[in-house]
Amino acid sequence: MKQILALPWTSKLFFTTKPAELSGVILAAVALSCVAVVATPPGQCDAQEIEASYRLEEGWARLPEGVPAWGQTIGLEPDPDGNLWTSDAGDRVNQRIQVFDQDGRYLKEWTGVMAREIYITEDDTLFVADYQLRNGIVIVSATDFSEIGFIEGPLPEGVAADSKGTVYAAKVGGRNLKKFVKN
């Protein structure tokens, strides 16, 4: 099966039939243009290059005055309304999740969470892979950030959930995936 890859430093699309050869893959869904972005070092996969027609929107998603500057934004997730949620935690200073609308306007933020990756369901449930402050998966309402649940211990760096409520955690250091099912 072929996969489409968009490598952000080249602005080109690639097809590959050998996804197993992709090492160090970072996957982020860029919600507002419905493009899947896969970043991997150049030359590490057997891929056929295809020209893309995308342009960078300069100045998109600016922070309002008084909000601390960008740290290391490392996670992106669309919500059902088309807003883009970002986790800004990699620098261990900002420890926040921020929300922007489709025009890049800053809507809100949730601080005090070391989110490596986030995942939002159709019913506005937010799953947060908090690998340092809480050491688990924090489950909150995406509307008001009230806590719904917590899965302790996986030290996750990636998180996803399915329609049955099963939660998946990826751990880079342990190089494994974990699956959590509801009781």
Q: Shortest CA distance to 107 belongs to which of 81, 128, 72? A: 81
The pLDDT tens digits for 144-168 are: 999 999 999 778 888 999 988 899 9
Q: How far apart are CA 5 and CA 35, in angstroms?
A: 9
Q: How far apart are CA 144 and CA 48, in angstroms?
A: 45
Q: What percent of the chain has pLDDT over 90?
A: 33
> Does the pLDDT value for residue 21 go beyond 50?
no
CB 114 within 8 A of CB 132: yes
Q: Shortest CA distance to 31 belongs to which of 100, 75, 77? A: 77
Q: How far apart are CA 115 and CA 94, in angstroms?
A: 10
Position 93 confidence tier, pLDDT thresholds 50, 70, 90: confident
Domain boundaries, the chain: 3-51, 73-180
Q: Which residue has the higher pLDDT, 131 or 87?
A: 87
Question: How far is C-alpha 159 from the geometric centre of its chain's CA atoms?
Answer: 9
Q: What is the mean pLDDT of the chain?
A: 75
Residue 141 bridge partners (DSSP): 125
| Gyration radius of the chain over CA positions | 17
| pTM, two decimal places | 0.68
Q: What is the reported pLDDT for 112?
A: 84
Average pLDDT, stretch 16-42? 39
Q: How far apart are CA 138 and CA 103, in angstroms?
A: 28
User: What CATH number matches the domain at 73-180, 1.10.3720.10, 2.102.10.10, 2.120.10.30, 1.10.10.10?
Assistant: 2.120.10.30
The strand ranges marked E within the chain are: 3-7, 12-16, 26-30, 35-39, 48-51, 73-78, 84-88, 96-100, 106-111, 115-120, 125-130, 136-141, 147-152, 158-161, 167-171, 176-180
Q: Which residue has the higher pLDDT, 42 or 62?
A: 62
